[in-house]
Amino acid sequence: MCGIFGYVGKQKDAAGIILNGLKRLEYRGYDSWGIAVKQQETGNKKQETNKLIVDKHVGKIGKAEVNLPLSNIGIGHTRWATHGGVTVENAHPLLDCSGKIAVVHNGIVENFQELKEELVKNGHKFVSETDTEVIPHLIEEFTKTKEFPEAVREAFNKLSGLNAVVATSCDSSQIIAAKNGSPLVAGIGDGELFIASDAIGILAHTKKVVFIEDGQIAILGKEIKLVSLGDGSTLEPKIVELDWKFEESELGDFKHFFLKEIYEQPKVIENIAATYAVETLKFADLIDKSHGIFFVACGSASYAALAGTYLFSTISKKHVNFAIGSEFNYLDDYIDDGTLVIPISQSGESVDVIEPVLRAKRKGATIAAILNVQGSTLYREADYKILLGCGPERAVVATKSLTAMVSILILLSYTLAKKQKAGQDMLVGAAKNVRALLSDESINKIKELARQLSKTEHLFVIGRGLSYPTALEATLKLKEASYTHAEGFAGGELKHGPIALISKGTPCIVFAPNDETYEAIVSNAAEVKARGALIIGVGPKNNEVFDQFLETDDLAEATMIPQIVYSQLLSYYLALEKGVENPDMPRNLAKSVTVK
């Protein structure tokens, strides 16, 4: 979940390049950050070259600057704390006893206590509470008899767990990167090389990348070299040309990426309607030929997947199973070589999705992924894939990636039902409606509602059918963006317990599309209103039970898209009303969950 960035090349401002790379990767972790560069000779004055200079800080990078010496090599890190508190001592990079080896790390060294005990017996002194610190000390041990790249390989092979390690040494002109489970990508520029935990960090410099595979070590010096973690044999790098634009990953005129990415949604939806006909036809054929279909996803993507089960049932008459990624291992006993597993993920790197997908693949299942990041682990492991095509998503809170997932599932469902044109037209209508929701008049209405709700402690959201996963997604947005306690329920479940939570003035958002669920969900709204709730209706038809009403077009199944956008906007402006420092970076969260 941490951000890693390294540079080696012809430019002397390695520290500045790394700092800017870390700022673009900060959504991966923002408890603390640090940079290490190799001190080098400058001008006529000789400096001590056999030295690493480290600068570390607690908190977000923000508009930070660094005062590090000129250098053409260095590594940096933004941390999401696992082992050890948020302190300067625990921030990365971490050093060995000599101060000559620096390491940044993403993952968890599961056997660090055992390794640390042995290293302490051998005289090593530790200064942090982290699991990571065993790594530079292990490398130090192996450098007594081996060259630096080989020492890193030997040290990495001692680690248990899913890890990505990047190391440099003041006795070397190389950066060494190794991975098993946690993502790393190398960038190839003009006389310079980059290493990062996410391609977004590299995009400003080059689109030519090499995605490091599990069981590989990348040696970055004058050129990139790949070797096997197992036997050290040389491997051929596979260079990929990214199709993202750098401008897509920049803030532009918006105050936050959260808001920028909300406003990008109409174009994302229109693009899917206009250009995904062939891809969805191929996926539909694959689904038709499968017996036993599973959606696997986490977080917002899991609500898209849950919505997919309704869409496949009602539109294309297909039965699809759904499991949260972290629970799928406990439900996979009946997977065989005829099963189709469809993981849905923005990053393609969530360990809670990757692990069960790989397990299903070993059992013979076909993997057909819906994801956003070209070259990610899921992208490489999938037998078939559809890219979301929504460009880089920098805010931790998912917006455009979620609506892209839903749009693809709607189009796929209609394609399966031999009604692809109807699905495309529906998405065009949804894009038009979302654009209308972003008008000044609509935004001002949302801002006023956010002001009214800013003092509330509890908020409830209900829906039925497709609006049930919509309600769950809305509550997630409210919780992670504005820190408001929100709960989502299927309308029919209220009388089975949750209605006990309603008291006078409790806000309750009611998703009420103009479909077979309308009368039932309005009845549920009346039940909670009778207990004193404030009812906020969202849908195409107003009703006297609603105290406030947010109108959408009547878009059949795609009505859930503007409903979702309303919840995104409310969450964003509620966060501002409640004084959240930066809605792009909610406390305790990171964009991609790469540790268990």
484: which strand partners?
Answer: none
Burial of 418 per CB tally in 10 Å (0-12, 13-18, 19+):
exposed
Q: Tokens at residue 151, please?
A: 């020492």
Active site residue 591: yes
Interval 481-490: pLDDT, tens: 999 999 999 9
Burial 354-386 (b: 16+ CB within 10 A, else e): bbbbeebbeeebbbbbbbbbbbbbbbbbbeebb
Q: Which of 295, 279, 393 is nearest to 339 (CA)?
A: 295
- What is the pLDDT confidence band of residue 165, given thresholds at 50, 70 and 90? very high
- The domain locations on the chain are 3-242, 251-438, 441-596
Is residue 341 within 8 Å of residue 335, measured between CB atoms? yes
Which segment of 125-134, 329-338, 423-432 scores lowest on mean pLDDT? 329-338
Active site residue 385: no
pLDDT given at position 351: 87
Burial 495-523 (b: 16+ CB within 10 A, else e): eeebbeebeeebbbbbbbbebebbeebbe
Is residue 240 within 8 Å of residue 375, measured between CB atoms? yes
**How many angstroms separate the CA atoms of 545 and 523, rounded?**
9
**How many angstroms separate the CA atoms of 542 and 339, rounded?**
44
Topology, domain 441-596? Rossmann fold (3.40.50)
- What is the pLDDT confidence band of residue 466, given thresholds at 50, 70 and 90? very high
Q: Tokens at residue 162, please?
A: 């899913």
592 pLDDT more than 80 = no
The sign of the torsion formed by the CA atoms of 108, 109, 112, 114 equals positive
Is residue 93 within 8 Å of residue 100, measured between CB atoms? no
- Please state which architecture CATH assigns to domain 251-438: 3-Layer(aba) Sandwich (3.40)
pLDDT given at position 594: 60
Is residue 356 within 8 Å of residue 332, measured between CB atoms? yes
H or E segment to which residue 479 belongs: helix 467-482
For residues 538 and 46, the model is more confident at: 538
- What is the pLDDT confidence band of residue 256, given thresholds at 50, 70 and 90? very high
565 pLDDT more than 70 = yes
Which residue of the set 179, 385, 400, 591 is catalytic? 591
- What is the pLDDT confidence band of residue 540, given thresholds at 50, 70 and 90? very high
**How many angstroms separate the CA atoms of 514 and 553, rounded?**
9
Mode of pairing for the β-strands spanning 534-539 and 507-511 = parallel
- What is the pLDDT confidence band of residue 30, given thresholds at 50, 70 and 90? confident
CB within 8 A of 429, min separation 6: which ones? 553, 555, 558
Provide the percentage of residues in the chain whose pLDDT is more than 90. 80
Q: Tokens at residue 512, please?
A: 């009420």
Taking the domain 3-242, which CATH number applies? 3.60.20.10
Q: Tokens at residue 71, please?
A: 């250098």
- What is the pLDDT confidence band of residue 51, given thresholds at 50, 70 and 90? confident
pTM exceeds 0.95 for this model? no
Q: Tokens at residue 15, please?
A: 């520290």
Interval 259-294: pLDDT, tens: 999 999 999 999 999 999 999 999 999 999 998 999
The whole-chain average pLDDT of the chain stands at 93
Interval 340-353: pLDDT, tens: 999 999 999 888 99
Mode of pairing for the β-strands spanning 163-169 and 175-180 = antiparallel
Interval 389-413: pLDDT, tens: 999 898 999 999 999 999 999 999 9
Map tokens 């060259």 to a residue.
147
Give the mean pLDDT of 4-22. 95
Q: Which of 354, 401, 356, 363 is nearest to 381 (CA)?
A: 354
pLDDT given at position 14: 95
Interhelix angle 400-416/560-577, nearest 10 degrees: 170
48 pLDDT more than 60 = no
Q: Tokens at residue 481, please?
A: 């963006």
